[in-house]
């Protein structure tokens, strides 16, 4: 494989985000070995358009890096800069703050408008941001059912904090505990829900929660 091969690029991206190919395969609705076979054996020869688009959105890159022809990244398309304001897409999916829900779609149906000055002050890149809905009560009182959260997909080292994650096909919002080697803790703020400890390869991190909105 050469440096420009989409398989090499996918492997680089997965390693940079500390997410397994098996977890990424589950994210696109494939069996656990699907992307492993793509990378190691070249089967399939190229990613299907829908799979490529979903992966490009997850990594916030241009689809062309994974073998497509689109030169504009999902984040760049989604967050259109308008002078001193940035429109951040609201995605039509929810992250469960309960037992876990299946993500049904990632289409933008609306947007939140943020001051670019405010975003810069907080070290946030509009192209790496999206807003999704919180469902369930496991993160109460901090996050309530119906709140919307701003998710930063920027590639950064994983630390303790609140993240949107995928476990299998379930999309969740949880407080992560990464202090213990070899496992990640999924912690709920609501004490009714016990912590869940998983191996790192079982958890695919979508992004860190950096802001919330909700009705009083």
Strands 85-96 and 161-167: unpaired
Whether residues 134 and 157 fall in one domain: yes
Whether residues 68 and 85 fall in one domain: no
Whether residues 19 and 90 fall in one domain: no
> Where a domain ends, among 72, 89, 106?
72
- Rounded to two decimals, what is the model's pTM? 0.60
Report yes or no on 142 lying in a domain. Answer: yes
Whether residues 40 and 95 fall in one domain: no
Phi, psi of 108 (to 5 degrees): -80, 130
Question: Quick one: pLDDT band at residue 1, thresholds 50, 70, 90?
Answer: low
CATH number at residue 28: 1.10.260.40
Whether residues 56 and 102 fall in one domain: no
Give the total number of structural domains in the chain.
Answer: 2
Phi, psi of 213 (to 5 degrees): -130, 155
Whether residues 117 and 195 fall in one domain: yes
> Where a domain ends, among 49, 72, 95?
72
> Long-range CB contacts (< 8 A, 24+ apart) of 117-125?
117/84, 119/86, 122/210, 124/152, 124/154, 124/210, 125/75, 125/152, 125/154
- Read off the pLDDT of residues 184-208 as tens digits, 9 standing for 90 and up: 999 999 999 999 999 999 999 989 9
CATH number at residue 153: 2.10.109.10
> Where a domain ends, among 15, 42, 72?
72
Q: Where in the sequence is the domain holding 61, given as residue range(s)?
A: 6-72
Mean pLDDT estimate for the chain? 83
Name the residue with higher pLDDT: 22 or 91: 22
What pLDDT score does 79 carry?
A: 45
Question: Quick one: pLDDT band at residue 81, thresholds 50, 70, 90?
Answer: very low
Structure tokens, 158: 């994983």
CB atoms within 10 A of CB 56: 22
Instruction: State whether residue 55 is helix, strand or coil.
Output: helix
Report yes or no on 163 lying in a domain. Answer: yes
Q: Is 151 exposed, middle or buried (0-12, 13-18, 19+ CB in 10 A)?
A: buried
Whether residues 88 and 48 fall in one domain: no
Whether residues 31 and 117 fall in one domain: no
Whether residues 13 and 33 fall in one domain: yes
Report yes or no on 1 lying in a domain. Answer: no
Whether residues 57 and 86 fall in one domain: no
- Read off the pLDDT of residues 136-182 as tens digits, 9 standing for 90 and up: 999 999 999 999 999 998 888 888 899 999 888 788 999 999 988 89
């Amino acid at each position: 494989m050469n440096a420009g091969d989409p398989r090499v690029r996918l492997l680089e991206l997965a390693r940079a985000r500390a997410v397994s190919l098996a977890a990424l395969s589950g994210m696109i609705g494939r069996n656990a070995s699907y992307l492993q076979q793509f990378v190691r054996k070249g089967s399939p020869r190229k990613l299907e358009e829908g799979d490529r688009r979903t992966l490009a959105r997850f990594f916030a890159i241009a689809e062309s890096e994974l073998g497509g022809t689109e030169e504009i990244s999902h984040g760049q398309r989604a967050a259109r800069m308008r002078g001193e304001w940035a429109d951040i897409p609201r995605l039509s999916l929810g992250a469960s703050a309960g037992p876990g829900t299946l993500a049904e779609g990632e289409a933008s149906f609306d947007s939140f408008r943020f001051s670019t000055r405010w975003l810069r002050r907080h070290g946030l890149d509009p192209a790496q941001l999206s807003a999704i809905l919180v469902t369930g009560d496991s993160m109460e009182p901090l996050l309530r059912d119906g709140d919307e959260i701003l998710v930063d997909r920027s590639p950064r080292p994983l630390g303790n904090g609140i993240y949107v994650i995928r476990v299998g096909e379930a999309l969740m919002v949880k407080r992560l505990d990464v202090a213990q080697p070899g496992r990640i803790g999924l912690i709920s703020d609501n004490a009714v829900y016990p912590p869940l400890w998983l191996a790192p390869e079982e958890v695919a991190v979508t992004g860190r929660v950096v802001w919330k909105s909700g009705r009083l």
